[in-house]
Amino acid sequence: MTQTAMTKRITTIAEAEKQFNLVRTADVNFFTEWRENLVDISDAEKAVLDRIKARYRYHRANGNLAESLVNLLVLSPLLELAGFYDPPYLMQGEVAVEVSTSIAESEVSDEILRGRIDFLVVSKELWIAVLESKGTEINLDMAIPQTLAYMMANPDAKKPVFAMATNGGEFFFLKLNRQGTTQYDISRVFSLLPLQNELYEVLKILKQLGKGIENID
């Protein structure tokens, strides 16, 4: 049995789909959690999100931001607003994960892919969100294959797992369901470029995902 780093094996969406037998669904109702029945946020929360956006744009104007700064300026305060630092959630960082691929390099032996998740939110032993952050110089499309691989490492195949990926200035969400055919879909991209603060929508989605998990017995 061979062991390989996820970042070396899974570098494209096509490779992730091949290795894990993934199919991007054509069902528009597969991933409605990011756009329907979103929870409201308060004026106080909007004020915090406005400060997060202003800080990001101020620091970003002077050049690219490293992943650590993206976490500090944007992701960490966003997770706090979403309530993921408090019960019933458990935040874990730099989580080591491994997953078996469907097609080994040699076609005759199993292959285990290993990697580390930047942030993992857990409630009732269920993975809620894999939050993958990147430096601002990274095109966010590059995060899709690795995030899908991390989502496949979720030990509970009976329930869907959700993810958010960000490079600080852009955000998108993913949903993966391993019941029957393993399917996934991706939300639209939310950006800090427009005048309207799209962090409002990002926070609403995070809260909605958390609320949905809290209601699971």
Instruction: Give me the residue spans of the domains in the chain.
Output: 2-214
Which pLDDT value is given to residue 184? 98
Indicate whether 6 pLDDT > 70.
Answer: no
Extract the tokens encoding 212: 């949905």
Instruction: Report which DSSP code applies to 112.
Output: E
Residue 74 is given by DSSP the state I
DSSP of 43-60, one letter per residue?
A: HHHHHHHHHHHHHHHHHH
Q: Which two tokens stand for residue 147?
A: 């995030």
- pTM, whole model, 2 decimals? 0.86
Largest CA distance in the chain: 58
Nearest to 162 by CA among 119, 115, 103: 119
Q: What is the pLDDT of residues 43-91, one digit of tens each?
A: 999 999 999 999 999 999 999 888 888 889 999 999 999 999 998 888 8
pLDDT, tens digit (0-9, with 9 covering 90-100), for 137-188: 777 888 898 889 888 888 888 889 999 988 889 999 999 999 999 999 999 9
> Two tokens at 157?
């195949």
Encode pLDDT of 109-139 as tens digits: 566 766 677 777 877 655 666 677 777 777 7
How far is the C-alpha of 193 from the C-alpha of 187, rounded, in Å? 18
Highest CATH level, class, for 2-214: alpha beta
